[in-house]
A and B are shown apart, each in its own frame.
Chain A
Amino acid sequence: MTAFTSAGAPDLQSAGPGGTGGDSPDRPRAISATSSDYWLTFGGSLIGSLALVWLLYERILPFSGTIGFYACWYVAYLVVFATATAVVHNRLIVVDRLATAIVTGAAGLVGLALASTVGYTIFRGWAAVHHLNFFTQPESAASPLTAPLTQGGILNAIVGSSIELGIATLVSLPLGIGTAIYMVEVGGRFSRVVRTVVEAMTALPDILAGLFIYTFLILALGFQRSGFAAAMALSVMMLPVIARTADVQLRVVPSGLREASLALGATQWRTVWRVVIPTQLSGLATAVILGMARAVGETAPVLIASGFSTYTAVNPFVNPMNSLPLAIFTAVRSGVPLFITRGFGTGVVLLAYVLILFSAARLLARSKVARR
């Protein structure tokens, strides 16, 4: 195999500007373009286009701005790279390499955006997060908005988020998993109706979950705007997510396992309890955790159903209860620089919260793979 490709590579290079060599039937085409020819063209084009763009962009043409510079560099790189490749290779290879450059560039841009989102939040929030009081004091401890970062924290938001998430999980876990078991194990015509409705409800915009709870629970039934109302709004969001993910997880349990259990004389209930659920336990846990990760970051429902408060509230039924997304929202809206720094700090905590849930889901999913 190595001899094969190394014999092919020089031939491709020596094919000359006409580049008909690649079309001759007896020469294998190099699929992975990792020859020295590729790397030299790549590096040369990168440096050449940088020099060209610097000269044009910074010195000759009336342009300015960092983003514009990098965008122009990328475009110039594509042109130079394509031209340089076309000198040696035929059209097919030029197109292939150009496509590789564009695909890699786009993926790099998305990766850069993700990295900058996480990095920028940590960068701006570090000033608030590295004080211990940020985690041990409620927001009310920083009474004027301009209080230094060594006073006050977000303990109330952390506690509030955890309580709301706990209640929401308590409500939606049995309902979500139960629905999934019903849809997969019992089935029937009615289950198709349930599945259709559950799938439709995953499209519910988050703000409507909040508005529904606000109108129904708070205005019509007379509940207070409180942590409980927020938790109900969150469980309206979580329920379809958990039911649908668990549905997918249960459906991939091999039907041979079910049949084996039934053939041994087990009842359907025992089959579900002893065979189906243990087989896919980590998958079901993943479904629940993904629902939780989704719910903890939802801002719009808690904004409507609970409202903002700076004091630590432990009773979910009275008084507004603050939560992490709501604390960020209020901080950003305030426009006070120090308060915005606190907002970024809260963002770091929220990211950590999501990341912990997310890693737990990943580990569970991985332990399943390792066991097989």
Chain B
Amino acid sequence: MTTVIDLRPAGSAPEPDEAPRSIRKSLSTSDRVFRWGTTAIGAMVLVIIGAVGSFLGYQLVPTLRDYGLRFFTENQWNPELNILGISAVLIGTVEVALIAIVISFPLALLTALYISEYTPPWARAFLVSMIDLMAAIPSIVYAMWGLFLIEPHALYLGRWINEYFGWFPLFHVQGGDARGALFNLEAFDSSPFIAGMVVSMMVIPLACAVMLGVFRQAPISEREGAYALGSTRWGMIRAVVLPFGRGGIVGGTMLALGRALGETIVVLLILSLNTDIKFRPLEIGGITTASLIANYFGEATSGQLDALLAAGFVLFAMTIVVNTIAAVIVARSRSGAQTEI
């Protein structure tokens, strides 16, 4: 061993505590307060928002006791006769959400591709913030836009589809015979199709933002590899960007579906209330869980309020399942939880 050079001032004797400093595992007081404080906040938030979920879920018990399993199979919601059921409501909810997804999926995907692959770099930040802005516009503004600007035109689109594809059961409209002597436009008014169309506007930015995030992560080396092999831009997109972004495409669409299931105001303003079970989205009338609650909470007796809460819980369960699947898919398609220096 060589001698250790003593850097201490000459003359100072070796300190008595030459032993290595103990690495204490116990926390200081401020840290203990910090840890307990934040844990308490976390627990509080867990209790608050957990209470909302369990409170809604708990209402299933009295509802099933009062109305039995018919609650899920009955289609009427008739507070005067106290016949309550949510089969038409659930079907209507899914119907409007699926229409919204069918319309929004191609638009969101192509818009994300455009911003990610076709936009010159100087315009990209602007377009991304436009998508964010679109997500921030309140639903009531979209509802007004849909009610006063879109609906008068969408009527004719519905009529056109009915006229040429009305032989297909899904596009049939009762009382909407386009070739009849008197043309009955009102049969196409306030339909799930129009409501879904406006809801699709609200979910496009949501899906688009997720897809965009994944597309931008497609590795540059593989993009350039595709170009180097003689690919066109579209060929590169098909070979690199789309396969890489598959998780984001599916996840973003599911996230949009979760949002579309719970949309209230647009549906409440556009769809006219009707609890028949029908699979004719171009026809007037329909109902969703959210519009059911908004329509009936005011006059509900306490038993009926339980039933409304139970219906709300079923909706909540659907959105949670859809969103959780979406979150898992999106998370799997990303990498790196923490950034390192």
Contacts and interface: CB of A to CB of B under 8 A. Distances in A.
A58 to B, nearest CB: 16
B297 A214 contact: yes
Contacts, number: 283
A179 interface: yes
B30 A208 contact: no
B153 A67 contact: yes
Contacts of A92: 232, 235
| Size band of the interface chain B makes with A | 35 or more
Interface string A243-278: 100000001111111000000000111101000000
Given A103-B118, A202-B323, A212-B52, A182 B41 contact: yes
B265 A267 contact: no
B142 interface: yes
Contacts of A3: none
Given A116-B149, A120-B145, A29 B232 contact: yes
Listed residue (A96, A216, A269) with the most chain B CB atoms within 10 angstroms of its CB:
A269
B262 A269 contact: no
Contacts of B157: 67
A325 B269 CA distance: 13
A205 B262 contact: yes
Interface stretch (B82-90, B105-113, B168-176, B243-251): B105-113
Contacts of A105: 110
Contact of A268 (B35, B201, B340): B35
B234 A255 contact: no
A188 to B, nearest CB: 8
| Size band of the interface chain A makes with B | 35 or more
B182 to A, nearest CB: 18
B118 A100 contact: yes
Main secondary structure of the interface of B (DSSP, over half): helix
B232 A216 contact: no
Interface in B38-68: 38-39, 41-46, 48-50, 52-53, 55-56
Given A205-B262, A219-B305, A294 B31 contact: no
B234 A95 contact: yes
Given A254-B339, A257-B341, A106 B111 contact: yes
Nearest to B261: A205
Interface in A188-207: 190-191, 193-194, 197-207
A65 B45 CA distance: 54
A340 to B, nearest CB: 8
Contacts of A287: none
Contacts of B261: 205
B234 A297 contact: no
B107 A243 contact: no
A354 B309 CA distance: 31
A96 B235 contact: yes
Contact of A106 (B49, B110, B227): B110
Nearest to B312: A208
B308 interface: yes
Given A176-B45, A325-B265, 17 more contacts: A31-B233, A65-B153, A96-B235, A110-B107, A111-B130, A179-B42, A179-B45, A182-B38, A198-B49, A203-B324, A207-B290, A207-B293, A211-B297, A211-B309, A215-B55, A297-B141, A350-B138
Interface of B: 27-28, 30-31, 33-35, 37-39, 41-46, 48-50, 52-53, 55-56, 106-108, 110-111, 113-115, 117-118, 129-130, 132-134, 136-145, 147-149, 153, 156-157, 160, 201, 204, 208, 227, 230, 232-235, 237, 258, 261-265, 268-269, 289-290, 293-294, 297, 302, 305, 308-309, 312, 315-316, 319-320, 322-324, 327, 337-341
State the 5 A-B residue pairs at the shortest beta-carbon distance, nearest first.
Answer: A297-B138, A205-B262, A256-B341, A106-B110, A178-B41
